[in-house]
Amino acid sequence: MRLMPGARNLFEAKMVSRSFAERMRNAEHLLGTVLSFPSPEIAEALALCGYDWLMIDACHAPIDTLTAQRMLQAARCPVLVRVADAGNEAIHRALDIGATGVIVPGIRTAADVEGAIAACRYPPLGNRAIGMVRAQGYGQNFKTYIDDANEEIVVVPQIGHIDAVREIEAIAAVSGFNALFVDPYGISTSIGLPGLIGHSEVTAAIGRVQHICEEAERRMGIFAHDLDTAARWLGANFTLVALASDAMMLSQRARDMLQVLR
């Protein structure tokens, strides 16, 4: 089949998505960062730095669906969208604009995970609807995408609440997701220790998730606010590590340069 130029670009992007899912299955160390500015240019610049993946934070940042699509188009690398919530609409929109996969917040129970997985899968495995959108090359790459999507779309439930930590055995036993993403700041807030990610209660909660996931042979991801923390998680069997964010890197570098000159 001869693809038109636009369809070829989207097909090549789909192959990037496929290789990313395979790299996750192989438990490779995959370094990314968080995009919190609604800027295609920043997404493009950070992708050119060589990150394995980027996270568009549509949960906390002021990033709507159209802006997220523009960021995906600019990045041209594997991109996971942290959706606003675990509802079907948010997940469907993120996948329809061509995301490699989704990070799903609001997870408390195994049933929540099952619902997120179902939203990412076409029938008979789930309830994702079909539309002629960017993900399918606006219809030009329809069959290839539909045939592969259930296997290749990356589904990453987020463990960001102590309730999910308490239910981690049941959550880890659910089949069909690619990794569990630990949000230390979310866990700390749910315990009543907002931002105190080094507190013993928070580290114990993260350790519990890590232990259960390792026993169940499930992949793990986590947010790291600095280099030392990222290195520690990489050495602790975390596959997906999101190192800081565009906002954090910009402000830190700006402060560092000012301190040198002053």
Minimal CA–CA distance to 136: which of 17, 18, 54, 14?
14
Q: How many whole angstroms separate alpha carbon 217 and alpha carbon 124?
A: 26
pLDDT at 11: 38
> How do residues 173-228 score in pLDDT, each as one tens digit?
999 999 999 999 999 999 999 999 999 999 999 999 999 999 999 999 999 999 99
Domain boundary assignment for the chain: 5-261
Confidence at residue 10, expressed as pLDDT on a 0 to 100 scale = 41
Distance CA 107, CA 59 (A): 13
Q: pLDDT, tens digit, for every residue of 26-41? A: 999 999 999 999 999 9
pLDDT of residue 76: 87
Using only C-alpha atoms, what is the Rg of the chain?
A: 18
Beta strands in 78-151 (DSSP E): 79-82, 101-104
Residues 6+ apart with CB under 8 A from 56: 35, 43, 63, 68, 71, 72, 79, 80, 81, 82, 99
**Do 133 and 72 form a contact (C-beta atoms < 8 A)?**
no
- 211 in catalytic set: no
Other CB atoms within a 10 A radius of the CB of residue 85 amount to 13
Which residue among the candidates 60, 92, 161, 211 is catalytic per the annotation?
A: 60
Q: What is the pLDDT of residue 123?
A: 96
Please tell me the CATH code under which domain 5-261 is placed. 3.20.20.60
pTM over 0.75: yes
Residues of the chain with pLDDT under 50: 1-18
Residue 168 near residue 118, CB atoms below 8 Å: no
